[in-house]
């Protein structure tokens, strides 16, 4: 996996060591995740709170945990303070709820804003034209810190269709660098089937599950 990341980074002219590999552990039991941590995995991504929280209770701070699934506002309280990065902020309503819950807990919630770059109505994420107003709103919140952007490539698309999604997000990432109160550090795009394309388009954080843990039962 690291070799594939390195080759893609070389094609881009990027530093492979600057790319964060998030191992997506959805559907993987805590014992196997522990073995992956022992083998060198440092960052883990979970999609569902009800599945993630028992794993966090067992494995704790042996790794940095990312929440990468859709987060409902009524689950914000459970997520705040448990994840190093919430990668799926997509609305002012969720931002306000994370701000409120983080304030109550006396912590700062670090997030990525999820952008729907494919235009697929079945996907979550703010539309590209709604990104800057959302970032401006988030930049005013005291207990919320935007650290970058996230997207999911067009599923089932040819490589160029997927590449177009990643190119769109990379352009937004560059354009929004100067929004007050926002730090564009992480460009999270690319999964098991397309992470090499994502790195070629500038991704410095990839979310890889199947290529690390193998196929999991679909929910």
Domains and CATH numbers, the chain: 2-212 (3.20.20.10)
On whether the CB atoms of residues 86 and 71 are closer than 8 A, the answer is: yes
pLDDT, tens digit, for every residue of 153-190? 887 768 888 999 999 999 999 999 999 999 999 999 99
pLDDT, tens digit, for every residue of 65-100? 999 999 999 999 999 999 999 999 999 999 999 999
Q: Indicate if the pLDDT at residue 219 is higher than 90.
A: no
The pLDDT of residue 154: 83
DSSP state of 68: -
| Mean pLDDT of all residues in 96-105 | 98
- Alpha helices (runs of H) in 39-122, residue ranges in sequence order: 49-59, 76-79, 92-105
If pLDDT is split at 50, 70 and 90, which confidence band does 216 have?
confident
Can you list the pairs that 172-177 forms with residues at least 24 positions away whose Cβ atoms lie under 8 Å? 172/115, 172/128, 172/131, 173/148, 173/149, 173/202, 176/131, 176/132, 176/135, 176/149
CA-based nearest residue to 128, from 79, 167, 81: 167
Angle between helix 30-38 and helix 49-59 axes, rounded to 10 deg: 50
| Mean pLDDT of all residues in 24-48 | 97
User: Mean of the per-residue pLDDT values for the chain?
Assistant: 95
Provide, rounded to the nearest whole percent, the portion of the chain with pLDDT above 90: 91
Q: Indicate if the pLDDT at residue 62 is higher than 90.
A: yes
């Amino acid at each position: 996996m690291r070799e594939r990341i390195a080759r893609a980074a070389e094609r881009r002219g990027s530093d492979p060591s600057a790319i964060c590999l998030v191992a997506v552990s959805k559907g993987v039991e805590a014992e196997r995740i522990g073995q992956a941590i022992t083998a060198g995995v440092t960052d883990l991504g979970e999609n569902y709170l009800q599945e993630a929280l028992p794993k966090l209770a067992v494995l704790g701070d042996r790794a940095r945990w990312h929440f990468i699934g859709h987060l409902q506002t009524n689950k914000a309280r459970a997520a705040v303070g448990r994840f190093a990065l919430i990668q799926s902020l997509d609305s002012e309503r969720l931002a306000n709820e994370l701000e409120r819950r983080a304030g109550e807990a006396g912590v700062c919630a670090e997030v990525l804003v999820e952008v729907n770059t494919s235009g697929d109505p079945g996907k979550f994420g703010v539309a590209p034209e709604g990104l800057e107003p959302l970032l401006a709103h988030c930049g005013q919140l005291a207990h919320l810190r935007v650290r970058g952007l996230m997207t999911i490539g067009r599923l089932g698309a040819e490589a160029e269709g997927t590449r177009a999604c990643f190119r769109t997000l990379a352009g937004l990432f560059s354009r929004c660098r100067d929004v007050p109160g926002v730090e564009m550090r992480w460009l999270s795009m690319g999964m098991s089937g397309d992470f090499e394309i994502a790195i070629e388009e500038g991704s410095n954080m990839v979310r890889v599950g199947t290529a690390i843990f193998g196929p999991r039962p679909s929910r």
